[in-house]
Amino acid sequence: MISVCIPVYNYKIGKLVRSLVSQGERCDEPFEIIVIDDHSSTDVSNQNEAVCRRHTYVRLGSNVGRSRIRNMFPALARYDNLLYIDCDSEIISDDYIDKYLIEIRRGDAPVVCGGRVYNANLPPPAERLRWKYGRERESIPAEARRLSPVRYFMTNNFLINRKVLESVRFDERLTQYGYEDTLFAYSLEKQGVPVKHIDNPLLHACVETNAAFIEKTDRSIANLVSILRYTGHDDGFIGKVRILSVYNNLRRNLAGMAAGNLLALLRPAFRLMLCRRSASLRLFDLYKLGLLFFLMYKTAAPVKVPGSRG
């Protein structure tokens, strides 16, 4: 009845797979696990494949990126209900699979998003920015997410019907990290496919330093610029992304443009402060906005920021 789909890039998934197997064996429904490895290091791939010896494990010969790898799963899946789980997730409830099975039996929503939470323990300052951002901006209860289902859609933990994914696919022009989930949810909305939000979260288990999170953020804003160009600056999509709405409002007058240009000039100083010790989300927002202004006005060609993919 359910195919669990785990795209992997340089992350060990032993604990996640064991938890899924335990719940899958108890649910008394047809169940499978499919893992596609997006060209991880040999050591990580070997360890993960050993854990998945009773499941479907596919190693890719080259890195294909976050969108294309997700589009590969329907061709491998035996069942029509695809449950996507990010490799850096941890199951924190004994009825995680059961809650999705309930949604499948109800049959009232072809796409269901479970949500994400973060560890409550305060990390050291060098790792605090990602943790604070996750706790305050991503750990949102379903009741609040339902008010803006596209904006709060995340690919780390969602159930989708195979036929829907075959008709509304992830945009494979996007190979880097950032906002591809929002674009996918927006594409679903345009096709009249509703996204249902429930409280069935996974724990984001990956620990990131402030510097690593900033580098990841750089790639995400660059990816957002690419999405804008691919969509022809679609007003509907812009309305779903808060930073784009703020950017559009600022660029409508000279004072706003001046403020944006100032933020672009100050972004190296903001970056230094954030990478060192600051976990100020307000400063982080200003840094991202300054980077967006910089990339939109200082770069004529499509933007690509160096960094790992997957």
CATH number for the domain whose boundaries are 2-204:
3.90.550.10
Give 102-156 pLDDT, tens digit per residue: 999 999 999 999 999 999 999 999 999 999 999 999 999 999 999 999 999 999 9
Tell me what pLDDT residue 298 has: 66
Q: How far apart are CA 215 and CA 291, in angstroms?
A: 12
Give 178-216 pLDDT, tens digit per residue: 999 999 999 999 999 999 999 999 999 998 999 999 999
- Enter the tokens of residue 99: 């809650």
* Average pLDDT value over all residues in the chain: 93
The reported pTM is 0.92
Q: Measuring CA to CA, which residue among 239, 181, 290 is closest to residue 282? A: 290
Tell me what pLDDT residue 277 has: 78
Please say whether the beta carbons of 210 and 129 come within 8 A: yes
Other Cβ atoms less than 10 A from the Cβ of 190: the count is 13
Angle at 200 between CA 227 and CA 77, to 5 degrees: 65
Q: In the chain, what is the straight-line distance between the N-terminal and C-terminal CA atoms, in Å?
A: 28
What stretch(es) of the chain map to CATH 3.90.550.10?
Answer: 2-204
User: pLDDT over 90 for what percent of the chain?
Assistant: 88
| Higher pLDDT among residues 42 and 175, named by residue | 42
Please say whether the beta carbons of 271 and 287 come within 8 A: yes
Please say whether the beta carbons of 76 and 47 come within 8 A: no
Q: Which residues of 271-295 are buried (b: 16+ CB within 10 A; e: fewer)?
A: beebbeebbeeebbbbbbbbbbbbb
